[in-house]
Amino acid sequence: MLTCKKAINQISNYLDGDLDEELKHTLETHLTKCHHCHAVFDTTKKTIELYCDGKLFSLPQEVHTRLHEALRRKLQVRS
Ligand SMILES: [Zn+2]
């Protein structure tokens, strides 16, 4: 079972195409069931698309770091 915290940690890796098939599937399943994580996923995806002009791969390290920071803050606010 994937916790919300773990799911959110994996979202940017997922969007980067960095996850193996099993984890990808686990995350996708979680996203269909969990509205909170799905909302985070959506926001992250849109942010990345904005940064990369639709290119979902090869995020610059700086963007990666900033996204992780933002997600971590979101988690802290919630818990
Ligand atoms: Zn969740």
CA of 37 to the centre of ligand 1 (A): 4
Range of the domain at 20: 4-78
CA of 57 to the centre of ligand 1 (A): 24
Question: How far from 40 is each of 27, 57, CA to CA, in Å?
Answer: 13, 19
The pLDDT of residue 72: 81
Chain segment 18-77, per-residue pLDDT in tens = 899 999 999 999 999 999 999 999 988 888 777 666 555 566 677 778 877 888 887 776
User: Could you give the CA distance from residue 36 to residue 62 in angstroms, rounded to a whole number?
Assistant: 25
CA of 38 to the centre of ligand 1 (A): 7
Number of domains observed in the structure of the chain: 1
pTM: 0.63
CA of 32 to the centre of ligand 1 (A): 9
